[in-house]
């Protein structure tokens, strides 16, 4: 599995522990979400998969590779 610069995850930075949500969104889906009224909660932001720390990227690859098998 590869991570792409067009894919994003929702991250919650409102607490001391950063929460990385499981769902991965293509950038076009995010645009559609905002166009239909989606609003981020305080502390949330979308982060490009390729901008995540290497350890987090590795965990996503491991998790989704396992789920596909």
Q: Following DSSP, what letter does each residue of 21-59 receive, concatenated?
A: EEEEEEHHHHHHHHHTT--PPTTEEEEEGGGS-HHHHHH
Q: What is the dihedral of CA 52, 56, 57, 61, to 10 degrees?
A: -150
Higher pLDDT, 16 or 41: 41
- pLDDT tens across 5-23, in order? 999 999 998 887 788 888 8
Overall pTM surpassing 0.75 (yes/no): yes
Q: Percentage of residues in the chain with pLDDT exceeding 70?
A: 91
């Amino acid at each position: 599995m590869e991570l792409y610069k067009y894919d994003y995850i929702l991250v919650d930075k409102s607490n001391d522990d950063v929460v990385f949500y499981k769902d991965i969104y293509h950038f076009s889906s995010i645009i559609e979400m905002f166009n239909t009224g989606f609003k981020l909660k305080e502390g949330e932001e979308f982060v490009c998969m390729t901008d995540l720390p290497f350890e987090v990227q590795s965990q996503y690859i491991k998790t989704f590779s396992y789920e596909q098998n």
